[in-house]
Structure 1
């Protein structure tokens, strides 16, 4: 189930073909006075069933609210009674939004698999997800983190260090390789027995299925930054407070007050 407003989660499975989204289909059906059926939004290939929740048009709505609406419709379509080996939800890491944090908040998932690369922004998002998981566990939730998939791994080691710091395993390391990049851009499935990458993705699949959910230990902002070498980028800077003179410059000269002060009666 693609839960990204870009609606591109299932494109690889269907050779680049974009399938109708749940939100788009729901809107059209409602205007026509019709009910949405499974066959309107769910499509299959090679034993895999897939669908896209979708999102609002740019500047015309909240993506998180769209996710909530999409899951409300999935529940009407029997989501909790589906009989699959696995149900994978591909979500943005923007869990500060209630919609994107829905599977964690409502215990709709058993475990979270993080996908991140060796860059600060990617690991910042992964750390946010860990924080959300831990927050809802303290409220009585049951969702845990199964581990981290390092994507476009260049060998610099920050993602590996992050996994060790938050106490989660690395499920797979996908190398930064031009062959993978080109095939992904051309919507070619590489996780097959005939591919040189088949064994890597087969191992990833096994690890995702077997890894138990654990409670992560999310990092503070400073702890996250310490994973990166800041010796050449100003690490350790001491904050200097601004003054009124700094802010107003030539306008900082005292102005005569217009306040009227009355003598005490």
Structure 2
């Protein structure tokens, strides 16, 4: 079982990238489990028809000790196993702590042993890398980290911070940095800026995802591009990303 954490600044298109990657990996015959680690709980929506799924935190609150795996895991397009950690009511509680509680619940319920996924992907908010948001980097939860970024300054700043956090844990045999995923926003000199960043943080750009309106077109249907438009050139882009990540194994 490979465990991959994908980080990125909020609004960068990380969840769109992750859900298309999960669907592409599923199309290649892999059993994929995608875990959204963002209080907005919208990581998996394009895999389940655009509808929200029960979050682990909310289910814990409602059912307490009676939570079962079928209460929190929804099978999405292509058989992707979808979970959302969720978060506290805005202004009350700690979102990072919510991620910790979600991970502890999955261990208690033996989720990984029960479903035996080939690949687990954690979709993690990367604006801050502290507390629960750093959980996928620690304690063996993930083997490798990829960072979604664009050429926008704040996106690259967040990517640099995330890379720094990965380095902090490097000497403890925790997750390693696999590379950057450029989700283009059509910024001037964008490729040059992101490649320069990759050199500064000691990694590479493993895939360039061009800006294409078909992505939003698919999202309006509550689907991934891979599901809605399997013959489109953007599906090829996500399939290529899946191939590169599989090759990294």
Fold similarity call, TM over 0.5:
yes
Match of 1:18 in 2: 52
Match of 2:69 in 1: 38
Indicate yes or no: 2:145 matched with 1:106.
no
Which is helix-richer, 1 or 2? 2
Match of 1:197 in 2: 234
Indicate yes or no: 2:94 matched with 1:62.
yes
Secondary structure at the aligned position of 2:121 is classed as coil
* CA distance 1:124–1:162, shift in 2 (3 Å): same
- Give matches, 1:112-191, under 5 Å: 112-138=145-171, 140-154=172-186, 156-157=190-191, 158-191=193-226
Unaligned 5+ segments in structure 1 are: 213-265
Is the contact made by 2:48 and 2:223 (CA closer than 8 Å) also made in structure 1?
no
Match of 1:246 in 2: none
- Give matches, 1:74-85, under 5 Å: 74-81=106-113, 82-85=115-118
Larger Cα-atom Rg: 1
Unaligned 5+ segments in structure 2 are: 1-34
- Give matches, 1:187-226, under 5 Å: 187-192=222-227, 193-211=230-248
Is the contact made by 1:152 and 1:177 (CA closer than 8 Å) also made in structure 2?
no
Deviation at 1:151, TM superposition (A): 0.8
Q: 1:197-230 deviations in whole A, cap 9, x for unaligned?
A: 1211100011122226xxxxxxxxxxxxxxxxxx
Is the contact made by 1:23 and 1:53 (CA closer than 8 Å) also made in structure 2?
yes
User: Does 1 or 2 have the higher relative contact order (CA < 8 Å, sep 6+)?
Assistant: 2
Deviation at 1:105, TM superposition (A): 2.1
Mapped to 1, the partners of 2:220 and 2:177 lie a distance apart of: 29
Match of 1:53 in 2: 85
Secondary structure at the aligned position of 2:168 is classed as helix
Mapped to 2, the partners of 1:9 and 1:206 lie a distance apart of: 21
Mapped to 2, the partners of 1:108 and 1:14 lie a distance apart of: 25
Which is strand-richer, 1 or 2? 2
Secondary structure at the aligned position of 1:7 is classed as coil
TM-score, scaled relative to structure 1: 0.74
Is the contact made by 1:113 and 1:145 (CA closer than 8 Å) also made in structure 2?
yes
Mapped to 2, the partners of 1:96 and 1:198 lie a distance apart of: 31
Mapped to 2, the partners of 1:117 and 1:73 lie a distance apart of: 34
Deviation at 1:167, TM superposition (A): 2.3
Mapped to 2, the partners of 1:94 and 1:141 lie a distance apart of: 24
